[in-house]
Amino acid sequence: MNGPALKSDNAAALTVRNLRVGFGLAEPVVRGVSFAVAPGECLAIVGESGSGKSVTARSLLGLAGTNSRVSADRLEFSGQNVLGLTDRAWQTRRGKDVGLVLQDALVSLDPLRPIGREIADSLRLHTTLGAAGRARRVLELLDAVGLPHPELQVRKLSGQLSGGERQRALIAAAIALNPPLLIADEPTTALDVTVQAQILALLEQITGAGTAVLLISHDLAVVSRVAHRVAVMYDGQLVETGPTAQVLGSPQHEQSRRMVAAIPADKPRGTRLSPSARPDAPRTPSIPDTPSTPDTPSSLSTSSSLSTSTNFRAGVSLESTVVLEAIGLSKSFRRPDGTSQLAVDDVSFALHHGSTLGIVGESGSGKTTVARLLLALLAPEHGEVRVFGEPWSAASEKTRRGLRASVGAIYQDALGSFDPRWSVAEILTDALNLRHERGAPHTTTRLTSLLDEVGLAPTVLPRRPLELSGGQRQRVGIARALAGRPEILICDEPVSSLDVTVQAQVLDLLDDVQRERGLSLIFISHDLGVVQHISDQIAVMRDGRIVEIGPAERVFAAPQHPYSAQLLAAVPRRPV
């Protein structure tokens, strides 16, 4: 500090000029990045996986890795140069001058140590506080981050806490010494929306207290809630920087525009989210989104069995038939302590031909158990699943096997659902039931046309799952599901592990194949924006029950159940 006449840069908590980071002899992955964060300001760096944002964050702490080459014209904390510090000098600064919050505290806090110990670590390393003093400060910190009953929590392991609780503990550990700069790398990515909203509010509060916050995220909607300014990172460079409302409202750079356009929330059904090679055929939803007249004879047979059902009449056209029906499904699991827990509790709905039923809920709401019941991978304790009006869950596995091809499944973890040693060709040949005709010309034709349908070139055929990108893998997953010519597709979080622009392409693809093949979809997701975009009907699940079911537009415009309203309110939305 050299007097009151500060240049703006010197007042910044963090100044970065022309930062370049590379690994080994390869091309740099961060290529000349410059920005500054002022005290009390939140700057968000957004970008997709591989854009270099996490490497940037780590380089700022001198933790880019043993193999890294980091160079910059300037790298300053509150005006003090930290370029070229020795390991020992960095150790005295980390935790004191800058704090780091990572994604998913389950693995970001040592699972073998009580959270109290983890939080007290910074105090042990940087202060002369005794054990009692540290314990007192830890309780204060836990209180400050809004963890109820701190004295009960300090001795718990991260695995004993809920996702939101451990993320709070992780933040408490990072701000233990009130560092003037906090770097948060995807701090809310693993969290449910309502918990995400709470953590974002906590970050806002920390910023409000004068801490400079550098937020790293892939999610534009999330950063819009807390960031004052947004910097869009693409291919190792910041392509656009500006006030949040400006960058999200009228993005200038092509990549920013693509990312903003790819946000599915608020985009009506049938609107394309990604720039596409295929010219967009005007979509005619198979089911009108507006409620039809109340005297429609085929109104949902299940609505009467729903305790929370409202006076809506599902918009079902006369000719549409029910292809998949869940009737009073219940399933419970045994907890480790021997008691049983109802994972799915009296769930009923009907899926109509050519329509999409979205099922939303937070983790633990029973969505995935419903998917497994629908696929008859689990047997319900009560109730039954019927497919095309025939018994499905009640049928024998032998009877079901012949029909299994008509009910396809797409999973979140495409990589985990493939045999890693099989090539794409083998995976799809197996799914097409052509194993005995491998290499035959007509097999190759079938493979190529299947790949074409999901927008992949035949060049991926010899590759193994690990050699594909996340988006390509999910496309292969969709191709595999389509191979059996299914009429129903059960999609369990199919886009949750994808970047937003890739997610947009996959959602568009699902839309296309649904239209072309007349598929009926069950679309399960924790992401309300995605569900809103793709669904005709929406069921909101909580604690194993469907608390609300109805046409997508109605549920989003006028949620009837308080929980749906709460979920909707928690969804981060970009300012328009």
Q: Does 152 bind other proteins (CB under 8 A)?
A: no
- Which of 170, 357, 407, 490 contacts other proteins by CB under 8 A? 170
Instruction: State the minimum distance, in angstroms, from the CB of residue 62 to other proteins.
Output: 9
Q: Is residue 168 within the footprint of other proteins (CB under 8 A)? A: no
By the rule CB under 8 A, 173 interacts with other proteins: yes
Q: Nearest approach, Cβ of 137 to other proteins (angstroms)?
A: 14
The pair of structure tokens assigned to 67 is 């193999």
Interaction between residue 211 and other proteins (CB under 8 A): no
- Residues sharing a CB contact under 8 Å with residue 253, sequence separation 6 or more, in sequence order: 232, 234, 239, 240
Within a 10 A sphere around the Cβ of 518, how many other Cβ atoms? 11
How far apart CA 315 and CA 549 sit, in angstroms, is 12
336 binds other proteins (CB under 8 A): yes
User: Minimum CB separation from other proteins for residue 548, in Å?
Assistant: 35
Give bridge partners of residue 391 from the DSSP assignment.
386
Residue 461 in contact with residue 454, Cβ under 8 Å? no
Report which DSSP code applies to 283. Answer: P
Q: Evaluate whether 560 touches 569 at the Cβ level (below 8 Å).
A: no
CB of 362 to other proteins, least distance (A): 23
Indicate which single residue of 157, 245, 565, 570 sits in contact with other proteins (rule: CB under 8 A): 157
| Nearer of residues 23 and 422 to other proteins, judged by Cβ | 23
- With binding defined as CB under 8 A, does residue 175 bind other proteins? no
Q: Is 26 in the site for other proteins (CB under 8 A)?
A: no
Q: Torsion over CA of 316, 317, 319 and 323, rounded to 10 degrees?
A: -30
Q: Give the gyration radius of the chain's Cα atoms.
A: 26
Q: Give φ, ψ of 35 to 5 degrees.
A: -165, 170
Under the binding rule (CB under 8 A), the answer on residue 104 touching other proteins is yes
Residue 209 interacting with other proteins (CB under 8 A): no
Contact call for residues 196 and 203 (beta carbons, < 8 A):
no
Residue count of the chain: 576
The count of chain residues that interact with other proteins, using the rule CB under 8 A, is 39
Q: How far is the CB of 230 from other proteins (least distance, A)?
A: 24
Q: Which is nearer to other proteins, 122 or 256 (CB)?
A: 122
Q: Which two tokens stand for residue 542?
A: 């909580």
Q: How far is the CB of 94 from other proteins (least distance, A)?
A: 4
Restricted to residues 54-83, the positions that interact with other proteins (CB under 8 A) are: 58, 61, 63
Interface with other proteins (CB under 8 A), residue from 96, 258, 480, 574: 96
Edge-to-edge, what's the strand order for the sheet holding 181-185?
Answer: 98-101, 181-185, 212-217, 42-46, 229-234, 237-243
Alpha helices in 267-423 (DSSP H): 367-374, 397-403
When asked if residue 363 is in the footprint of other proteins (CB under 8 A), the reply is: no
- The C-alpha angle with vertex 427 and arms to 422 and 431, in degrees rounded to 5, equals 155
Tell whether residue 116 is a contact of other proteins (CB under 8 A).
Answer: no
Whole-number Å distance between alpha carbons of 470 and 76: 36
- Minimum distance from residue 39 beta carbon to other proteins (Å): 20
Instruction: Extract the tokens encoding 26.
Output: 């390869």
Does 130 bind other proteins (CB under 8 A)? Our answer is no
Beta carbons within 8 Å of 222's beta carbon, 6+ residues apart: 188, 196, 200, 572
Return the number of the residue (183 or 195) whose C-beta is nearest other proteins: 183
Check binding of 404 to other proteins (CB under 8 A). no
Nearer to other proteins, 135 or 405 (CB): 135
**Among 94-102, 145-153, 476-484, 498-506, the segment contacting other proteins (CB under 8 A):** 94-102
- Contact 503/530 with Cβ under 8 angstroms? yes
Q: Is 342 in the site for other proteins (CB under 8 A)?
A: no
> Considering only 121-129, 202-210, 246-254, 444-452, which stretch makes contact with other proteins by CB under 8 A?
121-129
Q: Closer CB to other proteins, residue 138 or residue 488?
A: 138
| 95 binds other proteins per the rule CB under 8 A | yes
Q: Which amino acid is at 301?
A: S
Q: How many CA atoms lie within 13 A of 541 on its CB side?
A: 31
Of the residues 23, 31, 78, 121, which one makes contact with other proteins according to CB under 8 A: 121
Helix axes 254-261, 500-517, angle to 10 degrees: 50
Task: By CB under 8 A, name the binding residues for other proteins.
Answer: 58, 61, 63, 87-88, 91-96, 98-100, 102-104, 107-114, 118, 121-122, 125-126, 157, 159-160, 170, 173-174, 176, 336-337
